[in-house]
Amino acid sequence: MPKKLTYLPQLDGLRALAVLAVVIFHSRTDWLSGGFVGVDVFFVLSGFLITQMVVGSLEAGRFSYVDFIAGRVRRLFPAYLAMVSACLAAAPFILLPAEFERLAETALASLFFLSNIFFYQNLGYFDAAAEQQILLHTWSLAVEWQFYLIFPTVLWLAFRFTGRVLITLLLLGVTSLALNLVMTPQDAQFTFFMFPARAWELIAGGLLGLAYMNGAFRGRERHVFTAAGLLLLVAAFVFFDKSTLFPGVAAIVPVLATVILVYNITQAETGLLTSCLSWRPLVMIGKMSYSLYLWHWPVLLYARFYFGDELTLFQLLLCWAVTVVLSYGSWRWIESRLRGHRWLAGKWRGYIGAVVMSVPVAVSAGMIMLHDGYEKRLPEAAQSLIAIKKWPDFGSCVTKYDKDHYYNCILGPEGKPATTLVWGDSHAQTLIWAINSIAERRGAAVRHVTKGGCPPIFYGVPVSANIDKVACLESQRSAKQIIESDPTINTVLVAARWPLYQLTTLTLTENQSSNKFGDALLATVRQLLGLGLNVVIVDSLPEPGFDVANVLARRALIGQQSIDTFVDGRPPFQSLKVLEGIESPKLRLIRLNSTLCPDGDCPLWEKSEIRYFDSDHLAKAGAQMLIDYIDKVIVLEPVGLGSENVVGLE
């Protein structure tokens, strides 16, 4: 017998588990490294409920697309707009101009439910830059809104012209899942953020909703299903982390777990898991889950901007308390009150109200962008810090971090053959300041091939890297072509942010047999040595772990004391152990810590200039400290290396 859509408190309990997992993950990733899959639970639940709403209306002959979207607007948009408005209002007191401007851009994108596309084009979810985006969490809300806008039309067309809603959903779901599985190894950022590669998760919930409506759920809760669903979901929460290739195959785990759990807990009103998920405090959290999701990330991020990236337990407790207060207020007085308010009642009032409420936010965002984040509100010291030059530029030879470009040019006298090739990612690019000074000192020429985010290997691109993978492969091929065809090159200096690639999975190209970075690096070094070249590999630079220019500028803005030093605790050559077995007089591995971090402490300042312009890249003042040492290394003269600057691996 067909079932009508009714309120099921146990589903709110499941929502509570999902939102709590996300909050814990965003609070401390090491506490629940896979908590981000709570979003996948939300997707399945949305598909389960929305499909029943739409199909039920279609079967009753009273479906109206205009009414459906108006209902979604009344239910979701006011609280959403309140959160965005609050973020913009708080921003001038703590955000720097570029951050303020980016917030305005994302606010505009979010008003049109396009923030997932915005973030796909500009960054990756697990990138360090992503962790500085106040509205990052709106990407999943944008995906859901795109589902609301597209899915009802698909159901209406299937219902009206074929009558085969189930088959239509199966075909669309399989197509989306296939897109996810095929594209994730090639472009994980696309499949993470974009609706076409996420639709299958919502459709999985939709298929479950159809089964529920058609009376396929009969009997009682089965403990074996409870155990299986919980085991899969807990495994995803605990064992997935930032290195997991996601969504891809991995996303099937939380989606399947949610499908099993929803199927099981909607069988009957009683049962162990059903009773647990119907516990009143858990149900209350589930009812507030939308507002909790809206507010938790901005609260945590603003707190990190003020207190620092690593929040103490007390600070986290304070953040959670503020989040609960804001979320309760949002749920009680915005979500619940405005949903049925006469101002938004009727077919068109919801749309008109949404437009009216959006105009001040859109105008404010536009003004912020027009005035470049209102830089003049900052003290002069803060303005000078954020104005620091970030990338070397020597006229015709430029190097900077670009998503879709790599750089191949020669420093030094025009027409003079280069004997040294500098090859690497953005960490190698910042060394160009020092290398250019060396070239000028000697009257020599040095060639560099560099691409930000691209490992110096033959060949391979990290699957999860948010860079132009074609440009990365082209830079690797260009480096190899130069090395093999230019007889004047006798030394290759290789520098990179090695920990970034150490555990990564590579796209397989050029007849590679392994997708592990360590294997590719070992093979590359052996090829270079096999060509008779001198190979100098620079170990990872000491990293402050926080954006130096921005943090110091922000501390000046909010009146906090500056920071002078940091401690680099990374063991020597931690990410280069794979090279231990190579014995060659032409291979030299060097570490620059003794120059940058005497006695283990790493000063952030060189006289009145900062040594780093962000969390890991050397500024000009830091790079120029290395001139004398790199000058000796390039020509492979004895340099009297101490315990910090070693030949070979210890």
Q: What is the pLDDT of residues 261-293, one digit of tens each?
A: 999 888 877 778 888 999 999 999 999 999 999
For position 313, what pLDDT does the model report?
96
Q: Is the pLDDT of residue 124 over 70?
A: no
Percent of the chain with pLDDT over 70: 91
Query: Of 454, 524, 453, nearest to 483 (Cα)?
Result: 524
pLDDT digits (tens, 9 = 90+) for 480-500: 999 999 999 999 999 999 998
Return the bridge partners of 602, or none: 566
Neighbour count for residue 312 (Cβ, 10 Å): 10
| Average pLDDT estimate for 282-310 | 96
What does the alpha-carbon distance between residue 568 and residue 597 come to, in Å, rounded to a whole number?
A: 8
Instruction: Based on DSSP, count helices (H) and strands (E) in the chain, helices before strands.
Output: 27, 12
pLDDT tens, position by position, 429-449? 999 889 888 888 888 889 989
Mean pLDDT is lowest, of 243-247, 271-275, 320-324, for 271-275
pLDDT score at 344 = 61
Residues 74-78, mean pLDDT to the nearest whole number: 89
Cβ-Cβ contacts under 8 Å for 65 (sequence gap 6 or more)? 152, 153, 156
C-alpha 186/C-alpha 468 separation (Å) is 11
Q: Which residues contact 54 (CB under 8 A, 6 or more apart)?
A: 63, 68, 151, 152, 155, 156
Residue 443 to residue 436: CA distance in whole angstroms: 10
Report DSSP state, residue 334.
Answer: I
Residue 66 CB partners (closer than 8 Å, separation 6+)? 347, 348
pLDDT tens track for 187-238 = 888 999 999 999 999 999 999 999 988 877 666 667 788 889 999 999 999 9
Section 95-114 average pLDDT: 95
Q: Is 185 a residue whose pLDDT tops 90?
A: no
Q: What is the pLDDT of residues 594-614, one digit of tens each?
A: 889 887 789 999 888 999 999
Please report the sign of the dihedral spanned by the C-alpha atoms of residue 199, residue 104, residue 545, residue 598. Answer: positive
Alpha-carbon 470 to chain mean position: 20
Q: Is the pLDDT of residue 69 over 60?
A: yes
Whether residue 320 has pLDDT greater than 70: yes
* Cα–Cα dist 120/34, whole Å: 21
Nearest Cα neighbor of 63 from 145, 157, 141, 170 is 157
- Give the residue among 446, 438, 443 at the shortest CA–CA distance from 399: 446
Q: For residue 635, give the H/E element and its range.
A: none
Q: pLDDT grade, residue 640 (50/70/90)?
A: very low
Q: What's the sign of the alpha-carbon dihedral 416, 417, 419, 421?
A: positive
State the chain's mean pLDDT as an integer.
88
The pLDDT confidence band at residue 637, using thresholds 50, 70 and 90, is: very low
Burial 481-506 (b: 16+ CB within 10 A, else e): ebbeeeeebbbbbbbbbbebbbebbb
Do 194 and 140 touch, CB atoms closer than 8 A? no
Q: Taking residues 529-558, report their average pLDDT.
A: 93
Q: How far is CA 267 from the centre of its chain?
A: 38
CA distance 458 to 529: 13
Label residue 415 by pLDDT band (50, 70, 90). confident
Residue 173, helix vs strand vs coil: helix
Q: Residue 403: which of 456, 314, 475 has the closest Cα?
A: 475
CA–CA gap between residue 134 and residue 131 (Å, rounded): 8
What's the rounded mean pLDDT across residues 76-89?
95
Q: Which of 493, 484, 492, 489 has its CA nearest to residue 419?
A: 489
What confidence category does residue 126 fall into, taking pLDDT thresholds of 50, 70 and 90?
A: very low
pLDDT at 27: 96
**pLDDT the model gives residue 160:** 87
Q: Distance between CA 170 and CA 203 in Å, rounded? A: 8
| Helices 115-122 & 138-157 angle (0-180, nearest 10) | 120
Task: Find all residues with CB under 8 Å of 85, minimum gap 6, and list them.
Answer: 360, 361
In this predicted structure, what is the pLDDT of residue 571? 81
Rounded to whole angstroms, how far apart are CA atoms 240 and 232? 11
Backbone phi, psi, residue 298, to 5°: -60, -40
Q: Report the distance separating Cα 584 and Cα 592, nearest Å.
A: 21
Mean pLDDT of the 112-119 span: 94
All structural domains of the chain? 9-377 (no CATH), 390-542+566-596+623-634 (3.40.50)
